[in-house]
Amino acid sequence: MKLKLLNDKVFKNILIITTSIVLLIGVAFFITLILESTSSISKFGFKFFTSTDWDPVFEKFGALPFIVGTLLTSFLSLLIAFPFTFAIMVVLGEYFTKGFISEVLRYLTELISSIPSVVIGLWGLFFLVPAVRFFQITFGLQPYGVGIFTASLLLAFMIIPYAASIAKDAMRLVPKDLKEAAYSLGATRWEVIKQVMIPYSRSGIVAGILLALGRALGETMTVTMVIGNSHFIPKNLFSPGNTIASVIANEFTEATGDLYLSSLIYLALVLFLITALINLLGKYILKKIQINH
Amino acid sequence: MKRMSKLNKIAILAVLSIGLFGMFLQSCQKGEKATTDKVTELLGGGATFPYVLYSKMFDVYHQKTGMKVNYQSIGSGGGIRQIKEKTVDFGASDAFLSDEQLKDFNAPILHIPMCLGAIAITYNLPDNPQLKMTPEIITDIYLGKIKKWNDPQIKALNPDVKFPNLAINVVHRSDGSGTTFGFVDYLCKVSDEWQTKIGRGTSVNWPLGLGGKGNEGVTGLVRQTPGGIGYVEVIYAKQNGLPVATIKNKSGNFVSPELSAITKAADTQIPTDTRVSITNTEASDGYPISSFTWLLVYQEQNYNNRSEERAQALVNLLWWMIHDGQQYASALNYAPLDPKVVKLAEDVIKSIQYNGKNILK
Amino acid sequence: MNKTSFRRIKNDTYKLGLILLTIISTVPFLLILFFVIKNGIAVINWEFLTSLPKPIGENGGGIINGLIGTGILIIIATIIAIPIGIITGVYLAEYPNNLLSNSVRIVSEIFQGVPSIVVGIIAYFWLVKPMGHFSALSGSFALALILLPMIIKSTEEMVKLVPADIKEASLSLGVPYYRSILKVIIPASLSGILTGALTGIARISGETAPLLFTAFGDSFFNINIFKPISSLPLLIFNYSISPYQAWWAKAWGISFLIVIFILILNILTRILYKKI
């Protein structure tokens, strides 16, 4: 009996210690980022975000072009993704909630989100880039092929299933009696969707969009492969650019100066904080929805 | 809930975890062994410029000696960074370290020249005509002053070529690169404006253009982009059927990046530590954008608990590369080292030490 | 009457339009699948699967280094992440509302959204720099950090799903707490946990960004986890941005292998999922 009691204690200790390790990793993760970026933070401070210099020769670093590139690609991809996300959400959340079509669609969207980003980048490089270039030549634009627009298209495609599956779950939570009340008033199905279901599941949709945004902000490989890696604020949507993630992927192993490296980690810290905030917000909204049901 | 029998599940989990744990243990043991046993692998990283030659050399070396040399072409900037961080046995760079950079290392670092290469100006135009270029035109293109292929300056120099009204798509490296260093080092020598505005380094603040990762990436972008222009190690252009421009050198001759022209460019006084820039050469038939490429190693090999065997293996490899390895260079469009330079390189390799004692006697 | 029929038409148009958009949104996916299969099958043969890469410009050669590398990276990552993940998940489910579990839950949620490239940086500073060289282990560690929150989450949810009476019944029979957890709770939620683990493994098998500066790559055969190692996604990246057609073909071949692997994991996951 005594032995068993001891085991219980040991067992609980194992639980606590392991869980604490996870917590420790999380805290240490954050601290490492801060420590390693200190020299850049103290040198550039907030000017880091407003300067467009990225000059390893004269050791002047400013992140504005990458921040603009990151925001442009992310929000453009959200914009492109939105109609499709909305469609999938309604189709799976209301029109086909069960049965063969729903299964097939659900399976397809699940598969899309599991295709590695480097494979999507590969396809982008050899199919989408020539296609965009053809379009640019036809319309007399600089035929880069690669650039903000191409990257956003690929990103949109990657975040659609993710955002849609979260939003769809929210739609399915709409209570039956609410819908039936609307039907009994003579509303068509579309009217029910538009006037009852969407307002009801609004916060779920917002959460889906937020979490998708978090994903688009941090996506690295696909973007690195098709964005053109150019250190300027993009002039238009077809210009080449760079995102925070792609600049880190390109330059981390080869940054020769300490300040250079530190500035890259400063970028990583910024990316970390933004995505963490967006994710927590998205998850918080989802949790609130769950509690309400 | 439909359930498998509990026993089944436990059995599956047990088998899985035992299997995985076993593999883990096994690989751990192997890891320990490797540090005490004979050294069978060396790790290097850096320049993409000589990667074609190195991958050939290391393949042959593996067949001859069984020694695996794992070389990753991450860019010269990467080569310098990683040898500084001591994560590799040798770094590779086409840019020699400046006096200031040498001071940043807390231990003496050696440059061992491996071969010579040329940086070619390659482009993508309809029918790929043979073009002539002057330093001024190249500088202006990379400063964004010449924007179209049918610019009068380019046309005047190449009267036989019919240029389309096509924008010039400037391509440069997105990563830290010795090819970039060689190229901008040349631009600095021929243009004061470049020298003051942009400067030289393995990465610079480009006024315009697309970035490609590695010589491979730049070649790929130029090949895929109509109107593209880029600077790459000459082999990358040749292997991909891209044209290369002939460039006007200091003596006023238009020279194409042929082996003989590269070798001639190196015909100058070379210091004993072999750190020398040979761009914009005085030689009348020399190609103006040529460069040595180096491997970087620490003079004192006993760091990070490295074994003496490992240091010995590294020295053997270096010795082989500057002697037997040289025969593979010309076939791949790199100029082999001149006997005079091989002699200098030998002296550098002989100065490598372990615990203060020379490894090669 | 007129208005009603207008509303009905509007209703039908919207339905049709939305279904159409949904179908369009799957087109890129089908295109990718088509490209991967068409270009991938063409290069897959025995030599491709079993030999090492050749120097640039020489024909033939394969990707066995990447195949072995990816296998090792995934196995080690799983070994690191699964026990920690399950134990933490159990703790979160059993003690849902104290300070520790609440903070760990936040950490785990943040980790789920951390860009994988940032995880790579951390692995570089924690393992690559102190060890003095790139290694498979550092790559696995980065992958494990990505896998961990997924396992924590699925464990927590699955354990919570186990009806409270089962545990109480077991406890009231005098079975000690730890045995109730190990022998009753975990087995009851095992297929759910495995589903989560498989989904996570599918995800890390294609991860590239965190390996760029940890696993690094190796053009030779290597099974030593303390040395740099190649991996399939890294090879795809390196090959696809190269200017060589032969390498592009290889990139497609590798993509084919990864996609097949992920499809198999997906099917397995679904089989397990149906069992819950």
Nearest chain C Cα to B2, which residue?
C275
- Look up residue C128 and give its DSSP letter: I
- Cβ distance A25 to C87 less than 8 Å, yes or no, reads no
Which residue of C131, C184, C224, C227 to mutate against B (max B Cβ within 10 Å)? Answer: C224
The pLDDT of residue C275: 67
Report yes or no: A284 at the C interface, CB cutoff 8 Å: no
Q: Identity (one letter) of the amino acid at B184?
A: V
Confidence band, pLDDT 50/70/90 cuts, at residue B266 = confident
Residue spans per domain, chain A: 37-292
Fold of B41-116+291-358: D-Maltodextrin-Binding Protein; domain 2 (3.40.190)
- ipTM exceeds 0.95, yes or no: no
pLDDT of C145 over the 50 cut = yes
> Do C183 and C253 meet the contact criterion of CB atoms below 8 Å apart?
no
The pLDDT of residue B345: 95
Query: Average pLDDT of B197-213?
Result: 87
- Whole-angstrom Cα distance, residue B287 to residue A140? 37
User: Which of residues A6 and B268 earns the better pLDDT score?
Assistant: B268
User: Which of residues C217 and B138 earns the better pLDDT score?
Assistant: B138
- How much is the pTM? 0.85
Q: Which residues of B touch C57 (CB under 8 A)?
A: 52, 239, 332
Percent of chain B with pLDDT over 70: 90
User: Which of residues C83 and B17 earns the better pLDDT score?
Assistant: C83
Question: Where does C66-274 sit in CATH, by number?
Answer: 1.10.3720.10
pLDDT of A107 over the 60 cut = yes
> Do B71 and B322 meet the contact criterion of CB atoms below 8 Å apart?
no
Quick count: other Cβ atoms within 10 Å of Cβ C268?
15
The pLDDT of residue A266: 96
For residue range B124-144, list pLDDT tens digits in order. Answer: 999 889 999 999 999 999 999
Question: Where does B118-290 sit in CATH, by number?
Answer: 3.40.190.10
Secondary structure of residue C60 in the 3-state scheme? coil
Nearest chain A Cα to B201, which residue?
A57
For residue range B33-56, list pLDDT tens digits in order. Answer: 344 457 888 999 988 888 889 989
> Do B7 and C188 meet the contact criterion of CB atoms below 8 Å apart?
no
The pLDDT of residue C258: 95
pLDDT of C46 over the 50 cut = yes
The pLDDT of residue B28: 45
Percent of chain C with pLDDT over 70: 98
For residue range C54-74, list pLDDT tens digits in order. Answer: 887 677 888 999 999 999 999
Sign of the CA dihedral running C255, C257, C260, C264: negative
Q: Which CATH number fits domain A37-292: 3.10.129.10, 2.60.40.10, 1.10.3720.10, 3.90.1150.10?
A: 1.10.3720.10
Measure Cα distances from B264 to B121, B239, B249, B261 in Å. 19, 23, 12, 5
pLDDT of A2 over the 60 cut = no
Residues 6+ apart with CB under 8 A from B314: B42, B89, B90, B297, B301, B352
Residue spans per domain, chain C: 66-274
- Whole-angstrom Cα distance, residue B97 to residue B94? 9
The listed range with the strongest mean pLDDT (A163-177, B125-139, B230-244) is: B125-139
Least confident of A173-182, B48-57, B113-122, C240-249: C240-249
Report yes or no: A38 at the C interface, CB cutoff 8 Å: no
Measure Cα distances from B67 to B43, B145, B310 in Å. 11, 51, 11
Confidence band, pLDDT 50/70/90 cuts, at residue A230 = confident
pLDDT of B179 over the 90 cut = no
User: Which of residues A258 and C126 earns the better pLDDT score?
Assistant: C126
pLDDT of B31 over the 70 cut = no
For C133, the closest of B87, B223, B240 (CB atoms) is B87
SS3 labels along chain B: CCCCCHHHHHHHHHHHHHHHHHHHHHHHHHHHHHHHCCCCEEEEEECCCCHHHHHHHHHHHHHHHCCEEEEECCCHHHHHHHHHCCCCCEEEECCCCCHHHHHHCCCCEEEEEEEEEEEEEEECCCCCCCCEECHHHHHHHHHCCCCECCCHHHHHHCCCCCCCCCECEEEEECCCCHHHHHHHHHHHHHCHHHHHHCCCCCCCCCCCCEEECHHHHHHHHHHHCCCEEEEEEHHHHHHCCCCECEEECCCCCEECCCHHHHHHHCCCCCCCCCCCCCCCCCCCCCCCCEEEEEEEEECECCCCCCCHHHHHHHHHHHHHHHCHHHHHCHHHCCECCCHHHHHHHHHHHHCCEECCEECCC
pLDDT of B7 over the 60 cut = no
The pLDDT of residue B95: 87
The pLDDT of residue B17: 53
The pLDDT of residue C276: 61
The pLDDT of residue B178: 82
Query: Average pLDDT of B308-329?
Result: 94
For C28, the closest of A116, A126, A157 (CB atoms) is A157
For A253, the closest of B78, B167, B204 (CB atoms) is B78
Strand pairing class (B169-173; B228-233)? parallel
> What is the residue whose two structure tokens read 């029910």?
A192
Average pLDDT of the residues of chain C: 89
Residues of chain B with CATH 3.40.190.10: 41-116+291-358, 118-290
Report yes or no: B210 at the A interface, CB cutoff 8 Å: yes
- Cβ distance B220 to C276 less than 8 Å, yes or no, reads no
Tokens representing C88 are 């933490």
The pLDDT of residue A93: 87
The pLDDT of residue A281: 94
Which residue of B7, B87, B303 to mutate against C (max C Cβ within 10 Å)? Answer: B87
Tokens representing A15 are 């639980």
Tokens representing A9 are 């204690």
pLDDT of A237 over the 50 cut = yes
- Using an 8 Å CB-CB cutoff, list residues of chain A that contact chain B: 53-58, 129-130, 133, 137, 142-146, 224, 228-232, 240, 242, 250-251, 253-256, 261
Report yes or no: A151 at the C interface, CB cutoff 8 Å: no
- Cβ distance C10 to A188 less than 8 Å, yes or no, reads yes
For residue range A183-199, list pLDDT tens digits in order. Answer: 998 888 899 999 999 99
For residue range A15-44, list pLDDT tens digits in order. Answer: 999 999 999 999 999 999 999 999 999 999
> Do C149 and C243 meet the contact criterion of CB atoms below 8 Å apart?
no
- Whole-angstrom Cα distance, residue A263 to residue A45? 11
Query: Average pLDDT of C152-160?
Result: 92
pLDDT of B224 over the 90 cut = no
Nearest chain A Cα to B226, which residue?
A143
Nearest chain C Cα to A13, which residue?
C91
End-to-end CA distance of chain A: 44
